[in-house]
Chains A and B, each alone.
Chain A
Amino acid sequence: MTRVFVSQGPGGLENQGRLIMSAEQLRRALVRISHEILERNERPVAVIGMQTRGVDLAHRIADLIDSIENSETDFGTLDPRLYRDDLGGADKPVQPSQISFAIDGRPVVLVDDVLYTGRTIRAALDALLDFGRPSSIQLAVLVDRGHRELPIRADYVGKNVPTARGEDVRVLLEEVDGSDGVALVRRNEAPADSGGKA
C-alpha cells in the first residue's frame, strides 16, 4: 500500500491516504478522455469546468484537445452551488461562472473531479441551462466513486473506484495542491460535507 502525503483539507481529514492514481496515471487518463471526447464529437465541443478542481482538469483537457487537433477549444467555468438542493458549500465563497461564449446548439463537456451522489452534477445541469441550450451536455470526471443518489452517469471516466461512504476521494492537482495524484482517505469523524465530492 502506497502512502502519500495529502495536503490539509477542510474538516481535518487524515493526512495519510492510499494512492489510487499517480501523477502519470492521472495524466494518461486525461489524455485518453481528451481523445474520447474528440472521437465522439464531430463538432467542436466547449469544455466547462466545475469549481474548484474541475476547472483545472477542464483547463488541461481543453489544452490537450487543442494540442491534438490544433484547435482553439472554448473553455468556461461554472460554480453550481447556487443551484444546489441543500444550500451546501456556502462555507467557501461563491465564484463567478465565466462562460464568455454562446453555448446554444453545441456540445458541452462538463468536467468535475469526483462523481459521487450526482447532486452536484444535477445542480450544474440546472446552472448550465440558465446560460443557454446546448445541443448536448456530456460529463467527464476523473474519478467515479459510486454511491449515486440520482440517475446520473458520466460519459468519460478517468478511473472507477469502489469506495465506502466513510471514505473520501482526494484529488490533488498541481495547480491547487502542488502535485498531481488521487488518494483514498478514511474520513476522520469529520463533518459530512468536508471534501466529500458529489
Chain B
Amino acid sequence: MARTRTATTAPERPREGSANPEAQTSQETPATQRRRAERARGSQPSMFGGLSGSRKNVLDLDDFSKEEIEHILQSADGMNEVLSRNVRKTPTLRGKTILTLFFENSTRTRVSFEQAGKVLGADVINVSASASSVAKGESLLNTVRTLEAMKIDVLVMRHPHSGAPYFVASKIDAAVVNAGDGTHAHPTQSLLDLYTMRRHLGDIAGKKVAIIGDLHFSRVARSDVWGLRKMGAEVRVCGPPTLLPYGLRPGTEKPDSAAFTGIKVVDRVEETLEGADVVMALRIQRERQDSGNLPDLREYSKLYGINADRLALANPGALLMHPGPMNEGIEISSEVAHGAQAVIEEQVSNGVAIRMAVLYLLCPRSATRD
C-alpha cells in the first residue's frame, strides 16, 4: 500500500524561477561538474546496433566492419574496469565451457584467453597438442569432434597451418576463435593492438603506424593491417625484401593476401619511422626461417632493429609496440623495449580485456530475453 501512496503523491509545486531547465544547468555545483567529468571518462553512448548476435566465429579481421571493431574496443573498456576490481569475477559466462587447443607454443595468448574466460565465470579447459591424442596421430578433425562431443561453447585454437581454424569452424557448431594460424591471422592480437593505440592516441583514424620486420611470415602484421586500415590509420611497412609479402616484395606483382593492399612500403627504416605515431617491431620468427629468407640476424639487427636513435625519428611520445615474445637485441634493443615509450606490457594487460569482450560476444545467448 505504501508503494501506491508514494507513486500517487501530488508532485511538488515547481518554484518560480528555479523551475526551468536552463536555471538548473547554469548553476553547476562543483559536485555536478565532478559527476560530469566522471561520466565522461569511460562511457560513450553507442551509435550503432553492434554485433546483434550474428557473429559465430572470430577468424580474422577481414570480415569485421569498422562498427564491429569499435564495439569490441568499447566493450573492452568495461572489461578493463572488471579487471581493475579487487574481486575480479563476474557470473556472466557461468556454465559455459571454453576450450583452448594449442598446436603451437604460447604463453601470453593462451593464458590471456584462460584468464579472460575465468574472470567472466566460464570454465576453461586447456589442451596442448603435444600432450593430447594428436601425438598419437589423431587427425585435426577427429580431435575437434571429440572435444566438441564433450560440450564446449567456444573453441580457441592456434595451429601452425594457415586456414586450419576456418576448416574447423566449418565442421563444428561451437564458436571458433583463431588464436593464430600459421602465417595468416591473429585477430585478437590486432584488436588489442588497436585498443592499446586508442587508449593512448585517441581516434586511430589518420594516425601513422610504422610496422617493421618480417611481414611475410607475420600473422600479427596481416591482421593488424586489416584492423588499422578499417579504422582509417595510415600504415607504412619496412623490412628486408626477402621478408616482405608477395606483392610488396620487389619483382613480385601478385599479392599473396588482400590484407596488404593499400599500404605503403618504404625501403629505409629511418624513412618509415619519421613522424610515426606508433612504431611496431615484429618478432623475427626463427621457427619459420628455415627457407633461408633471412641470412644473418646481426645484419638484420643492424639494418632494421629498433633502437633509441631510430625511435627518436618518430613523433615525440610515439608508442613502441611489439606483439611478443621479444628477441631483445635483434628486432628491438633492450633499452627501448623497457623504455618510457614502450607499451608492450600494457598490450598484454589489454589482451585480457579484449579477449573478455570477444568471448562475451561469442558465447551463445539463451532465447529468453525481456
Q: Which residues of A contact B (CB under 8 A)?
A: 10, 23-25, 27-29, 31-32, 35-36, 51-52, 55, 59, 62-63, 66-67, 72-73, 75, 77, 79, 82-84, 86-88, 90-98, 100, 116-117, 119-120, 126-127, 130-131, 144, 149, 153-160, 174, 176, 180, 192-193, 196, 198
Q: Which of A116, A117, A157 contacts B3 (CB 8 A)?
A: A157
Nearest residue in B to A11 (C-beta to C-beta)? B49
The 8 closest A-B CB pairs, nearest first, are A94-B78, A93-B74, A96-B81, A28-B11, A96-B42, A91-B50, A93-B75, A117-B370
Q: Is the CB of B368 within 8 A of A86?
A: yes
Residues in chain B near residue A98, CB distance under 8 A: 38-39, 41-43, 81
Q: Is the CB of A55 within 8 A of B43?
A: yes
B56 CB–A CB distance under 8 Å? no
**B34 CB to closest chain A CB, in angstroms?**
8
B252 CB–A CB distance under 8 Å? no
- What total of A-B pairs shows CB separation below 8 Å? 160
Complex CA distance for A86 and B93, rounded to whole angstroms: 10
Q: Is the CB of A96 within 8 A of B45?
A: no
Q: Which of B12, B21, B35, B80 contacts A32 (CB 8 A)?
A: B12
Complex CA distance for A66 and B91, rounded to whole angstroms: 35
Q: Is the CB of B77 within 8 A of A36?
A: no
Q: Is the CB of B50 within 8 A of A160?
A: no
Q: Is the CB of B32 within 8 A of A95?
A: no
**B304 CB to closest chain A CB, in angstroms?**
38
Nearest residue in B to A154 (C-beta to C-beta)? B3
Residues in chain A near residue B366, CB distance under 8 A: 86-87
Q: Is the CB of A82 within 8 A of B120?
A: yes
Complex CA distance for A149 and B369, rounded to whole angstroms: 12
Residues in chain B near residue A27, CB distance under 8 A: 14, 19, 21
Q: Is the CB of A94 within 8 A of B29?
A: no
Nearest residue in B to A88 (C-beta to C-beta)? B369
Nearest residue in B to A56 (C-beta to C-beta)? B39
For the complex, count residues of B whose C-beta is within 8 A of A: 58
Nearest residue in A to B368 (C-beta to C-beta)? A86
Residues in chain B near residue A154, CB distance under 8 A: 3
23 A-B contact pairs sorted by A residue (CB < 8 Å): A27-B14, A27-B19, A28-B12, A32-B11, A52-B43, A63-B24, A63-B32, A75-B35, A83-B91, A83-B92, A84-B92, A87-B363, A90-B53, A91-B53, A93-B77, A96-B43, A98-B43, A100-B38, A130-B85, A130-B87, A153-B3, A159-B7, A198-B370
Q: Is the CB of A66 within 8 A of B31?
A: yes
9 extra interchain contacts, Cβ-Cβ under 8 A, other than A77-B38, A77-B43, A94-B74?
Answer: A63-B32, A72-B30, A79-B78, A86-B369, A87-B92, A88-B369, A94-B357, A98-B39, A153-B3
Q: Is the CB of B81 within 8 A of A67?
A: no
Nearest residue in A to B90 (C-beta to C-beta)? A82
**A37 CB to closest chain B CB, in angstroms?**
11
Q: Which residues of B contact A (CB under 8 A)?
A: 3-4, 6-9, 11-12, 14, 19, 21, 24, 29-32, 35-36, 38-39, 41-43, 45-46, 49-53, 71-72, 74-75, 77-82, 85, 87, 89-93, 120, 357, 360-361, 363-366, 368-370
Q: Is the CB of A95 within 8 A of B77?
A: yes
Q: Which of A83, A95, A116, A155 contacts B370 (CB 8 A)?
A: A116
Q: Is the CB of A52 within 8 A of B363?
A: no
Residues in chain B near residue A97, CB distance under 8 A: 78, 81
Nearest residue in A to B43 (C-beta to C-beta)? A95
Complex CA distance for A98 and B357, rounded to whole angstroms: 18
**A79 CB to closest chain B CB, in angstroms?**
6
Complex CA distance for A153 and B45, rounded to whole angstroms: 28
Nearest residue in B to A65 (C-beta to C-beta)? B31
Complex CA distance for A63 and B82, rounded to whole angstroms: 27
Residues in chain A near residue B368, CB distance under 8 A: 86
Complex CA distance for A25 and B11, rounded to whole angstroms: 8
Nearest residue in B to A126 (C-beta to C-beta)? B91
Residues in chain B near residue A25, CB distance under 8 A: 11
Complex CA distance for A153 and B363, rounded to whole angstroms: 31
A91 and B51 in contact (CB under 8 A), knowing A59-B35, A157-B6? Answer: yes
Complex CA distance for A71 and B41, rounded to whole angstroms: 23
Q: Is the CB of B6 within 8 A of A156?
A: yes
Residues in chain A near residue B49, CB distance under 8 A: 10, 91
Residues in chain A near residue B43, CB distance under 8 A: 51-52, 55, 77, 95-96, 98
Residues in chain B near residue A32, CB distance under 8 A: 9, 11-12
Q: Which of A62, A82, A149, A196 contacts B92 (CB 8 A)?
A: A82
Residues in chain A near residue B45, CB distance under 8 A: 52, 176
Q: Is the CB of A29 within 8 A of B370?
A: no
